[in-house]
Amino acid sequence: MDFKDQVKSSVDIVGVIGEYVRLKKSGSQRYVGLCPFHSEKTPSFSVHVARQFYKCFSCGVAGDVFEFLMKIEGVGFFEALKSLAERCGMPMPKRSLVADEDSKLRAVLLQMQELAAANFRTNLQGPSGAEARAYLEKRGLRPETIEQFGLGYAERSGRALLRLLEQQGFDKTQMEASGLVRKRDDGTFYDYFRNRLIFPIHGESGKLAGFAGRALAPDDNPKYLNSPETRLYQKSHVLYNLHRAKEGIRKEDRTILVEGYMDAIGLTAAGIQPVVAVCGTSLSSQQVQMMKRHSQRIVLNFDPDAAGANAAGRYINLLLDERMQVRIMELDAGLDPDEYCQERGAAAYRERLEKAKGFFYWVADRARAAQDANDPDARVAVLRQLVPLVERIPDKLERMTAAEDLASYIGVERGVVLDQFRKAVATRREAVFERPKAALRADERLLLNAVFHSPEMADELIRELKGVESIGHFASRRIFQTILAMAEAGAEVRFEEVHARLEEADQNLLAEAVLADDADVSAEGVAAAIASARRSGIERRRSELKVRIKELERTGNWPEALRLTGELQEIERAARRS
């Protein structure tokens, strides 16, 4: 067993994938969830525990735990191997330190980011960090919170980090690629963040990706500066605090989305969880996907100003497109989430959180505020504006209830308008989950599962299968042929090796068989499946013979017809005996 196999057999694929996808058990060995690699409404993504394998029956992605991590984190094989090895506490063998170019670059960049993060943290505690410390104190942050979130300070000079990176021997290309320093026209460098409070930003797996820096001087623009895009940091693919919050999101089945870093930190410090923040950008559909993988329920809690409301208004559509269940939480007295928590306390915040209304009430309030409420036509206009939004509520019952509630909320009389509203909302077309059509018979499914069940079972079964002529007519015949050929060549018949040798159509069949989860892989079950395969072979030969005999009789080829009739009788006698 090589190192890769050792890691693979030690790591729990459901645990790893479960950190990115909300998985539900569906059968003894199978888990299902929404595919993280394409947008879908009903789960067609399956994970098989014993086969250590995942497959999406909609978009076709499939593979093992390494392929999953490479794809979802956008990393190379080496990094996936390393992170999984770390996960199960296995030291990497020396020779594997030779990585590919991209992995090497990412490793160097990560090293530089970590160096910078440590430097920022030290600065914050030192004499130059006084102003930043004062700001944090004013915002009511405790030392343990500052430590938990790894906050720091970037020096004013513009050379501090540069000097450190030079001392550590990083070259110019690496420095430029890090985003930590900038190049002037004359080729010299200077620090990207200067005189700023620093928030480290992590990827979903918890690896440091980049930083955000808040200006401390009032005339410094922009107020928030994010790391430029690097090989480690793509701002539309990162959500602030997601790596800390994701477990809580799955547990609570809800995400609280806020605008600012300080909001996420303040709420978390006050015991309000799980909170994530958009990182100084507009919410992207990738970010929505990242949240949706953990929970489809979201509460937006943005600043109580026009900018916050406009952002919430824009995001609703994006969130509904991904079938998220959206609630909006509004805070009064012009307080942002962090301030609210500090002034009114966590309990008061929590109470408002639980009372957060469905997004359509919030939209109705906004639309109504823009109209003359006493004008009956205006009410209808508000209602019309809401139809397309209510139509997008995923659950039918919830949708119909919302339609009723909204009509009375807005003050529209029962009648024609309400009927129209109801009709528009009810006729929304429901997406139907299309289960993969079973292309395989029960006996071939069971035999395929049995081959991979245990090496002992496989040896005996493969010997026996050689004598079962009818597998040559199975839909899965090419899979069996591959298995028999591998056994013939003395190779160990393992799921991934067989899978790797197949064409895509056959890979799908194999995945279907393995993920069907209805196979009784016992000695009796296998014997019954072989008997059934044999019977089906005999059945096929019988009908073949009957057709052939009729033909021969029609053309007057009596001797041949007689010979085949003899064979047919022999088969039927044998069938009666068994």
Do 159 and 139 meet the contact criterion of CB atoms below 8 Å apart? Answer: no
Query: Does 32 engage in binding with Zn ion (CB under 5 A)?
Result: no
**What part of residues 265-294 is at the interface with Zn ion (CB under 5 A)?**
none
> In whole angstroms, how close is the CB of 37 to Zn ion at the nearest point?
5
> In whole angstroms, how close is the CB of 353 to Zn ion at the nearest point?
33
Residue 188 and residue 171: Cα distance in Å, rounded? 12
Query: Does 35 engage in binding with Zn ion (CB under 5 A)?
Result: yes
**What part of residues 374-413 is at the interface with Zn ion (CB under 5 A)?**
none
Residue 309 and residue 333: Cα distance in Å, rounded? 15
**What part of residues 141-160 is at the interface with Zn ion (CB under 5 A)?**
none
Q: Count of residues for the chain?
A: 578
Rounded to whole angstroms, what are the CA distances from 144 to 80, 140, 199, 243, 574? Answer: 32, 12, 15, 18, 82
Report the candidate in 191, 189, 128, 123 with the shortest Cα–Cα distance to residue 152: 123
Output 36 or 213, the one with its CB closest to Zn ion. Answer: 36
Do 552 and 560 meet the contact criterion of CB atoms below 8 Å apart? Answer: yes
In 302-353, where do the E strands start and end? 325-328
Output 59 or 547, the one with its CB closest to Zn ion. Answer: 59
> In whole angstroms, how close is the CB of 22 to Zn ion at the nearest point?
15
Do 457 and 450 meet the contact criterion of CB atoms below 8 Å apart? Answer: yes
> In whole angstroms, how close is the CB of 218 to Zn ion at the nearest point?
49
Radius of gyration of the chain (CA): 32
Residue 123: how many other CB atoms lie within 10 Å: 19
Do 406 and 422 meet the contact criterion of CB atoms below 8 Å apart? Answer: no
Peptide bond into 222 cis (omega under 30): yes
> In whole angstroms, how close is the CB of 194 to Zn ion at the nearest point?
44
Q: Which stretch binds Zn ion (CB under 5 A): 33-41, 139-147, 361-369, 431-439?
A: 33-41
**What part of residues 39-68 is at the interface with Zn ion (CB under 5 A)?**
56, 58-59
**What part of residues 337-376 is at the interface with Zn ion (CB under 5 A)?**
none
Output 16 or 232, the one with its CB closest to Zn ion. Answer: 16
Query: Does 38 engage in binding with Zn ion (CB under 5 A)?
Result: yes
**What part of residues 299-328 is at the interface with Zn ion (CB under 5 A)?**
none
Output 336 or 512, the one with its CB closest to Zn ion. Answer: 512
DSSP states of 154-182: E-SSS-HHHHHHHHTT--HHHHHHHSSEE
> In whole angstroms, how close is the CB of 322 to Zn ion at the nearest point?
14
Output 51 or 55, the one with its CB closest to Zn ion. Answer: 55
> In whole angstroms, how close is the CB of 42 to Zn ion at the nearest point?
11
The H or E element spanning position 500 is helix 495-501
Helix 504-515 vs helix 442-451: crossing angle, to nearest 10: 90
Tokens of 525: 């079950």
Report the candidate in 313, 244, 242 with the shortest Cα–Cα distance to residue 278: 242
Rounded to whole angstroms, what are the CA distances from 239 to 17, 41, 195, 429? Answer: 18, 22, 24, 32
> In whole angstroms, how close is the CB of 286 to Zn ion at the nearest point?
15
Residue 333 and residue 350: Cα distance in Å, rounded? 16
The H or E element spanning position 553 is helix 523-555
> In whole angstroms, how close is the CB of 39 to Zn ion at the nearest point?
9
Number of H helices, E strands in the chain: 26, 17
Output 46 or 536, the one with its CB closest to Zn ion. Answer: 46
> In whole angstroms, how close is the CB of 504 to Zn ion at the nearest point?
14
Output 38 or 542, the one with its CB closest to Zn ion. Answer: 38
Query: Does 209 engage in binding with Zn ion (CB under 5 A)?
Result: no
Q: Which stretch binds Zn ion (CB under 5 A): 28-36, 298-306, 391-399, 550-558?
A: 28-36
> In whole angstroms, how close is the CB of 60 to Zn ion at the nearest point?
7
> In whole angstroms, how close is the CB of 38 to Zn ion at the nearest point?
4
Query: Does 434 engage in binding with Zn ion (CB under 5 A)?
Result: no
Number of residues interacting with Zn ion: please give it, by CB under 5 A.
6
Residue 301 and residue 241: Cα distance in Å, rounded? 15
Report the candidate in 466, 437, 461 with the shortest Cα–Cα distance to residue 449: 461
Residue 569 and residue 575: Cα distance in Å, rounded? 10
* Eight-state DSSP code of residue 295: -
> In whole angstroms, how close is the CB of 55 to Zn ion at the nearest point?
9
What three-state secondary structure class fits 204? coil
Output 128 or 508, the one with its CB closest to Zn ion. Answer: 508
Output 58 or 482, the one with its CB closest to Zn ion. Answer: 58
Residue 482 and residue 490: Cα distance in Å, rounded? 12
Residue 326 and residue 415: Cα distance in Å, rounded? 29
> In whole angstroms, how close is the CB of 57 to Zn ion at the nearest point?
8
Output 58 or 178, the one with its CB closest to Zn ion. Answer: 58
Residue 528 and residue 447: Cα distance in Å, rounded? 10
Output 37 or 190, the one with its CB closest to Zn ion. Answer: 37
Output 35 or 326, the one with its CB closest to Zn ion. Answer: 35
Output 14 or 212, the one with its CB closest to Zn ion. Answer: 14
Output 21 or 530, the one with its CB closest to Zn ion. Answer: 21
Site residues (CB under 5 A) for Zn ion?
A: 35, 37-38, 56, 58-59
